[in-house]
Structure 1
Amino acid sequence: MGSFPIFLSSILCCIMLPEMTGVELLRRVKSFPRLRSIPVVLLTAMEDLESKNAGFAAGADDYVTKPFQPVELCLRLRGLLRLNEYHDRLEEVDNILKSMVAIVEAKDVYTKGHSLRVAQLVAAMGREVNLEEEKMETLYRAGLLHDIGKIVVDSGCLNKPGPLEPKEMAVIRRHPETGAVILGQMQRTAPIVPLVRDHHEHLDGSGYPAGKRGQEISFLTRLLSCADVYDALTSDRPYRKAMPRESALGIIEAEVAKGWWDLEAFRLLERVVEMEEGYGHAGVNY
């Protein structure tokens, strides 16, 4: 088993084999991480549901009943290979995006881990209101990638210990739009573009980059904004030390009163960080 070539594109396996069943062989094959994603088709003359369920449980992707037409087998394999290629491309996109986040965090030494913490926190907030799976995935991914636009911002600007000059602030404030442009190029990240673009908008219209207000800002974006602000306040920055939880929540509540953040989003944030006492930066897994 250890000598399986890594260039396998698919595996055809009969259920009835001389020394073990095809299901047992399949379990062994799937125990090797490098082989787990390879499509497997089981060939069988048996029609019983129990055998098929055992095969699928072991990791089979399809069944072909013998006797079969060669064209049928070719069509099944072609469909599985196309699906596998699609998944490989999605994984490649995800890896590229993760690398870009790592570059951003390497440039801004004070925000290492910020994106992951925001993703974990905002996902926990979404769970509190029983968001459907698709929206949960959107929230989590937006949390991971909300600051990706900072990849074009100079590290000296990101790490400056004192107040930013107006020109420097203008550069920083372009990062939501830059992130939206980057993520808008890929179908996989298209759903999170509005969240990334709008996470610094305020309900009263005083935010950036577009000065959106009220219903122009989605509920998911409002959740993301609160999670982002909370983690920023409870993390070290070049110009200040991390704040304790109570102080951070107090500041955000005051900004809710000013008309910046959504009250429901703040209450969800408050509930989650109180439940996850010491969320601080242990985080909550999605």
Structure 2
Amino acid sequence: MRRPSPLPAPAKPRPPAPVPEIAPDAASGTPVLPFVAPSDRLPVTPDRELGMRDVWRASRARRRALRAEVRRFTVRQRRRRMLWLTVLIAFVVLVAGTVGAAYSPLFAVQRIEVVGTSQLDAAAVSDALSDQLGTPLPLVDESAVKAALVQFPLVESYTLEARPPNDLVVRIVERQPVGLIESGAGFTVVDAAGVALATTPDAPAGLPLFTVQGGARSDAFRAAGQVVRSLPEEVRSQVTAVTASTPDDVAFTFGSTDAQVIWGSAERSAEKAVRLQAMMVGSPPDRVSRYDVSSPDAVIVG
């Protein structure tokens, strides 16, 4: 049987720290305690030495505390940033959805409507544009539309209008014939720009015959065409012949009375038309042989 080991000796009690003497203040006689450093008051006696793991844990705890403080002081900024991010994402989704829907078959052309035609056949124009059927409205080929409408000489200008979800509207402005040019093939109907609209063997009624030096592509013809277009309908319907050798000597004749109108250039045509119409009321064409409105400030009736 083994003999038990002796018990360790009890630890000796640590002597109490000396109490500093209280010395009275020399001036007031009040007792003053002397300053004692914490190290002197509470001596540190660690049970074990600190290792790298303890240093790492302390560092991690410090970083966590710093992150918590940063989050606490930046919560408002983070909320504002999240709000703007949400708005931006919603806007991008809305734009992407709209663009995707616009270019999808949901907005493809299913009907072509032609408006503004009086001389042209609207159905024929619509058939010429039938290759655009099934094309999404934003992808309608304007060059193909132009190539199709060039086949119709009466088309002066046009505009395209998309009417979602499936309609394409073509607004056409037709060329207005202003007169006839006689040639070996017959009589050619032309507009104010000299564009040939049709050719017939006989002269169509209601259109004056143009006799212009240089033909339909000359400056004289363009001036004469502008003059005829500026006339009021009740005056233009009486014109049977138009002559011009230069852009400054346009003249025309009223066929029913052979009364001649000296117009001059195309400048101030609207004012000249008003003065001519007023003179024709007071002096009808069957009573005079000539109206000279080349200077609208001094109209001559003879």
> What is the TM-score when the length of structure 2 is the normalising length?
0.22
More strand by proportion, 1 or 2? Answer: 2
TM-score (norm 1): 0.23
| Larger fraction in helix | 1
